[in-house]
Amino acid sequence: LLTSPCTRETNYYCIKVSEATLKDNSLVYALTLDRMVHSYTSLGDPKKLVYDYEKVYAKLTDQIARDRPFLRTLFIGGGGYTFPKYIEALYPQSSIEVVEIDPGVTQVAQDMLGLAPETRIVTYNRDARIFFEIEGVPQYDLIIGDAFNDFSVPYHLTTREFNEKVRSYLKDDGFYMVNILDGHRALFLRAYVNTLK
């Protein structure tokens, strides 16, 4: 019989969860979707961030939240829900929504990565393009793009048309932060920045 190396297989990913020990000897859980580690999660400390890009997110979020106690946030991509849980822990008056295309990823986050049943995080298991077709949704202070298909951002989330939808859901003084992977020449990043402009 063929045995799967996955913790769970879905229509989108081979999902794996494994233990990892950091340099400070703390234990975290790594979420791998296909071949890429998407997140490290501490079950005991939702404020613990491992990836440098998450620490950049945290600094900018802190700046934004200083003037907005009722911070309204939307995540495109849930992964291990590390940063949504961080915002939930640090900003108790915030509104947190996640658009995660794969319900299996959300279920693994609930079963193994500390996403509590009583969480204030609201999840929509659908493609972000479909989510942005909903009428009458309040605008957001912060939208975070953190969706990946293996080692690349799904192309349809980087088009001019999609970015115009994102802009229409942002407050006039809102922010759109996007996590992008690229090669050392940053050719994709350059094209994406031009598209955003």
User: Residue 115 region, left (φ>0) first, then alpha (ψ -120 to 50), else beta?
Assistant: beta
SS3 letters for 130-164? HHCCCCCCCCEEEEEECCCECCECCHHHCCHHHHH
Considering the candidates 34, 67, 111, 146, report the single residue annotated as catalytic: 146
Of 105, 53, 63, nearest to 83 by C-alpha is 53
One-letter amino acid at 10 equals T
What DSSP letter does each residue of 66-78 carry, written as one string?
HS-TT-EEEEE--
Active site residue 146: yes
Catalytic residue IDs: 146
